[in-house]
Amino acid sequence: MFSQGSFSIAVTERLSGTRLDVAVAMQIGTCSRSVAGALIREGRIRVQGEIKKPGYRLKAGESISGDIPAPVPIDCAPESITLQILHEDEDIIVIDKPAGMVVHPAPGHSSGTLVNAILYHCPHLSGIGGKVRPGIVHRLDKDTSGVLLVAKTAAAQAHLADQFKNRTLQKTYLALVAGNMESASGSIELSIGRHPVDRKKMSVFSAKSRDAKTLWRVREAFSAASLLEVEIKTGRTHQIRVHCAALHHPVLGDSVYGSRKADSRLSCVTPFIVRQMLHAWKIVFTHPQTGERMQMVSPVPSDMADILYRLKSLT
């Protein structure tokens, strides 16, 4: 296993046909596929001395060479922000993220993020996972609440990244959507990519898309809305929101993918919905150090519970 510095990998028959970025991530345990892809695009990782694309398919007998740079100091400053911690040990920390909190710094959100808070709580994370995403192995949208898993060591991050890549980690959400579903459960298998016109949005009509699978079941039905328990088998950007909108049952409060035409039956609850009603309820994963299968659950937040109470009063 490499940490940083120069390396060389001989492409065997087993690696033949594998994407370059995938092969590097497989062979270098502390280098995720996304990091490998970035280094390949920068020309820091080459095949036979030549610059290739991350998706280049390797051939037996070729040689991959490059270097893993030392961790870049984080520009993000630690901030004393209260965190709701569901679990913490030497390897991981599991956070119950509130709606409205941005996960990592981005233009317009240089402070007050989850990363700012984590760096204050865990000051030794500065070399884990890159410049602005220390220990972050997945993310939640700003207005999505719920459970979020963070690695505290490079080994833990690599292990968790593999679980996401191999889909051995299970994420279940609660989504309050418009209308009543046509059946008690179902699946959505529509590929997702960038919207053909609005590049800030995702779409099931993109020319360049990736496979996406969402499983859902009705947890509770109301007169004009449904509470769904949703499990995502892939981790595409805005996946649940895009898939629910594609079924014509958008997540209530979703200003991006939601319907502009309000259902009159929901008129007494919509004024109280100030964000998308999507909550990361449960995550099941294998602990990177102990090998124990763990389950973390985030209680339904108060704003979502209030909307559910109001909907129940209408039935």
Q: Which residue has the tokens 């805005």?
A: 238
Strand order through the sheet with 209-210: 202-203, 192-194, 209-210
According to DSSP, the residues that pair with 16 across neighbouring strands are none
Give the DSSP letter of residue 219. Answer: E
> Strands (DSSP E) along the chain, which ranges?
5-10, 45-47, 63-68, 85-88, 92-97, 145-151, 170-178, 185-188, 192-194, 202-203, 209-210, 214-221, 225-232, 278-286, 293-297
Give the DSSP letter of residue 83. Answer: -
- Tell me which of 141, 143, 162, 303 is the catalytic residue: 141
| 141 given a catalytic annotation | yes
- 11's tokens: 């492409």
Q: How far apart are CA 303 and CA 73, in angstroms?
A: 37
Give the DSSP letter of residue 168. Answer: -
User: Taking the CA of residue 166 as centre, how many other CA atoms within 13 Å lie in the half-sphere pointing to its CB?
Assistant: 11
Q: Would you please indicate which residues are annotated as catalytic (active-site) residues? A: 141
